[in-house]
Amino acid sequence: MINYDDQMDLFGLISKNIARDMECWAFGGTAMMFYGYKDETKDIDLLFDEVDHRAEFIKAIEKLGFIEGGLRDIYVPEKLRDKHKPLIYFRYDIRFDLFVKKVFKTLISPKMKEDVFAVHDFKGKHNLRVKVLRKEHIALLKAVTERQNDFDDIRTIVEKEKRFDWQYVIDEVIWQHKHGDNWMLFDVEEMMKELKKYVFIEQKYVKRLYEAAPEEK
């Protein structure tokens, strides 16, 4: 596990070891710590726009003792077959999940880019820019990754955020579906069904998911 302060120190060290300026998108437990939703996390989820940026990032973390690991015990079999599955790097009980271009079938949409929660620059030898996604996007991507404890994290976000915007969520799901993500619609539907056991979600939002792809229901 890694806490907020150690995570900031780690990003600072990485910035001293990269050979170029780069940026990435933070989601998952990493992003949750930036919000203050949790005090520590075991997985640092990052998405890069370019393969060579991820490769350079990997070189940097390997210098810090991280080694590549397997995905089998982390993601469900269906996700393991996807060509956009991440590369995993471990050091003790800290794990990087490093994606490129997509989180499985999910793109970084225009709204994700426009509505980032925060931007952190770590200036060492070169600049590492970490863009933290909005809370609704963090929850959506946790529905997509489907790892152990992802649902508990979604529940934490929704319970702590009294103004969690379900309409915003549905609009994003529909956009992703129209742009080729044939998983998110169903991943989010299952997430919402389970979440309704704990928090109030108006039925109209679930209905909109069904209306988004009636031919697939």
The answer to whether residue 182 sits within a structural domain is: no
The answer to whether residue 191 sits within a structural domain is: no
Q: Please choose, from the candidates 27, 38, 46, the residue with its C-alpha nearest in 3D space to the C-alpha of residue 3.
A: 38
Average pLDDT score over residue span 117-129: 96
| Residue 113 vs residues 24, 134, 178: alpha-carbon distances, Å | 11, 9, 18
Mean pLDDT of the chain: 93
The domain of 70 spans: 2-160
The answer to whether residue 10 sits within a structural domain is: yes
The answer to whether residue 66 sits within a structural domain is: yes
CA distance 126 to 20: 6
If 0-12 CB within 10 Å is exposed, 13-18 middle and 19+ buried, where does residue 202 land?
exposed
Sign of CA dihedral 215, 187, 46, 61: negative
pLDDT tier at 213, thresholds 50, 70, 90 = low
Structure tokens at 204: 């109209």
Task: Say which CATH number the domain at 48 has.
Answer: 3.30.460.40
pLDDT tens-digit profile of 143-184?
Answer: 999 998 899 999 999 999 988 999 999 999 999 999 988 888
The pLDDT, as a whole number, for residue 217 is 44
The answer to whether residue 41 sits within a structural domain is: yes
The answer to whether residue 212 sits within a structural domain is: no
The answer to whether residue 204 sits within a structural domain is: no
The pLDDT, as a whole number, for residue 181 is 87
179: Cβ contacts below 8 Å, ≥ 6 apart: 107, 109
CA distance 147 to 17: 30
CA distance 38 to 3: 9
Task: Report whether 105 contacts 179 (CB < 8 A).
Answer: no
The answer to whether residue 186 sits within a structural domain is: no
Task: Report whether 142 contacts 154 (CB < 8 A).
Answer: yes
pLDDT tens-digit profile of 3-38?
Answer: 999 999 999 999 999 999 999 999 999 999 999 999
pLDDT at 123 over 70: yes
Task: Report whether 164 contacts 158 (CB < 8 A).
Answer: yes
CA distance 58 to 188: 31
Tally of domains within the chain: 1
